[in-house]
Amino acid sequence: MLFDDLGARTVVADFSGGTLSTDGGLLLLRQIDRGLGLTRRLATCFTDQRDPRWVDHTLEQLLAQRLHTLALGYEGLNDHLDLRRDPLLAVACGKSDPLGQDRFLPQFRGVALAAPATLNRLELSNNQHTRTHKLPHDPAQIEACLLEMGVRCLPKHAREIVLDLDAMGHLLHGTQEGRHFSGYYGDYCYLPLYVFAGAIPLWAQLRGSDTDAAHGVVAALAKIVAAIRKRCPWARLIIRGTRGFAGRRSWCGAKSSRRCTTAWAWPRTRC
């Protein structure tokens, strides 16, 4: 193609660049994932019931494909119609042939990664009973795995750890399952529970907004504190939250000691 020159420079359109990708950050995510062992550890929470003779994508590769693209901001499964052809994503997922020429069936060669339908079956295998849904998972194991990965980031010899509780309203713009109108936020929303230790996320629990902020916080704290005690047995724990959580002080009061303190922003009291 010929274009007008730009001063002393010649403008040229060249389409012989070869195989390209716009997601260079995938290589960094790949190294981080390998260091943390997140995908490898998470794969142990699933059961692969597929016949290995017909499998192109291992369970760990499917999880890596979904997790890496979520980290890049591709939240919808439909994005994988194009992303499954990204050679750099294939490298990040551990594919030996990033161009997909080693696929079992000839009609799929040239596409290295899984289609949206395959990833959808991975996410819904617990709720379906068909011959194609063969990757069930254990929700309790996944919960424990993610909590363990978060607690592992805490300093082992920490003397004090502050746990911040927060319930944040996420507005919804459709008829999502479990939505409910919240008078506080003035719209339909979810009200997930978050627990952070500084900048480290330890807990993220999806909830509807038909309950108060403290719903389920006692059960969550019991698991979080038990996990922290394995990592930091002598650390003093400060559990901090707004007055929306103050109605659950009975459990914290029972746990109060030199190494466990609860603090509420409003009212400013300690127990």
**9-48 per-position pLDDT tens digit:** 888 877 777 777 888 889 899 999 999 999 999 999 999 9
State how many domains the chain has.
Answer: 2
Within this chain, do residues 124 and 188 fall inside the same structural domain, yes or no?
no
Q: Sheet holding 180-182: strands in order across?
A: 170-171, 187-190, 180-182
What Å distances lie between residue 119 and 29, 53, 62, 123, CA to CA? 20, 19, 7, 6
Within this chain, do residues 252 and 161 fall inside the same structural domain, yes or no?
yes
Within this chain, do residues 37 and 121 fall inside the same structural domain, yes or no?
yes
Within this chain, do residues 125 and 173 fall inside the same structural domain, yes or no?
no
Within this chain, do residues 125 and 148 fall inside the same structural domain, yes or no?
no
Single residue among 137, 154, 188 that ends a domain in this structure = 137
Within this chain, do residues 171 and 260 fall inside the same structural domain, yes or no?
yes
- The residue range of the domain holding 202 is 140-264
Higher local confidence (pLDDT), 243 or 213: 213
Within this chain, do residues 113 and 147 fall inside the same structural domain, yes or no?
no
Please report whether residue 147 resides in a domain: yes
Please report whether residue 269 resides in a domain: no
Within this chain, do residues 113 and 146 fall inside the same structural domain, yes or no?
no
What is the pLDDT at residue 67? 95
Asked if the peptide bond before residue 201 counts as cis, ω within 30 degrees of 0, the response is no
Q: Does 249 have pLDDT greater than 90? A: no
Q: Does 265 have pLDDT greater than 60? A: no
Alpha helices, H only, the chain: 26-36, 38-43, 59-71, 80-83, 87-92, 116-124, 139-151, 217-231, 249-255
Residue 201 β-bridge partners: 196
Tokens 């062992």 sit at which residue?
Answer: 37
